[in-house]
């Protein structure tokens, strides 16, 4: 793990990381040479990253999205209606029921495409999500006006998390682990 580009931060900063954080982050360490945004010339899609993480996540008890068909997706309820049937559900990449932990894996335009904001808001209304683990690229490389540019997605995500969890006007309903890969 020495020299690894995988890193993580937890929120609120006043609480210690959850007991499962190191186990979960280890799944990213083990897949690092396949998913690293630091070492690969071009980053993978979020589906490709999730595919590399799936065996490790499943070994930790995560239910993992296995494809794009409805029966392969993981959904968490938001509202319940008559007879207790969910009337609104949001999709999540993986869910660990014992930890009440949802996982979203973002790639590509996690920051520039606003996926981070969508994930933060949707997790706040999902039933049974006490922890959100949000995995984002350390960097996203792209071309702008013919030049290579870099978006620092992990740093940007942590800055938003610092503002949300550190501000007195905001109280999120879950705790957060941000993982940079």
Go through the domains of the chain in sequence order and give each one's CATH number. Answer: 22-180 (3.40.91)
Alpha-carbon dihedral 40, 45, 47, 50, rounded to 10 degrees: 30
Residues 6+ apart with CB under 8 A from 118: none
Query: What's the pLDDT score for residue 2?
Result: 55
Distances (CA, A) of 88 to 77, 81, 85: 6, 9, 9
Indicate the pLDDT class of residue 142, thresholds 50, 70 and 90.
confident
**Gap between the Cα atoms of 39 and 5, Å rounded:** 9
- Check whether 40 has a pLDDT greater than 90: no
Q: Which residues pair with 137 in a beta bridge?
A: none
Tens of pLDDT, residues 72-111: 999 999 999 999 999 999 999 999 999 999 999 999 777 8
- State pTM to two decimals: 0.92
**Gap between the Cα atoms of 69 and 66, Å rounded:** 9
Mean pLDDT of the chain: 93
Indicate the pLDDT class of residue 149, thresholds 50, 70 and 90.
confident
């Amino acid at each position: 793990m020495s020299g690894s580009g995988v890193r993580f931060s937890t929120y609120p900063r006043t609480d210690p990381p959850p007991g499962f954080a190191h186990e979960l982050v280890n799944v990213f360490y083990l897949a690092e040479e396949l998913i690293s945004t630091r070492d690969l010339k071009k980053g993978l899609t979020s589906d490709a990253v999730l595919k590399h993480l799936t065996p490790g996540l499943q070994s930790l008890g995560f239910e993992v999205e296995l494809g794009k068909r409805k029966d392969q997706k993981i959904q968490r309820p938001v509202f319940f209606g008559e007879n207790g049937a969910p009337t609104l559900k949001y999709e999540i990449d993986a869910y660990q029921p014992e930890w009440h932990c949802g996982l979203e894996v973002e790639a590509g335009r996690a920051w520039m495409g606003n996926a981070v904001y969508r994930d933060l808001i949707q997790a706040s209304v999902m039933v049974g999500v006490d922890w959100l683990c949000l995995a984002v690229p350390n960097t996203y490389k792209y071309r702008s006006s013919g030049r290579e540019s870099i978006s620092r997605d992990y740093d940007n995500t942590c800055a938003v998390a610092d503002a949300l969890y550190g501000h007195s006007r905001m109280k999120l309903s879950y705790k957060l682990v941000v993982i940079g890969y």
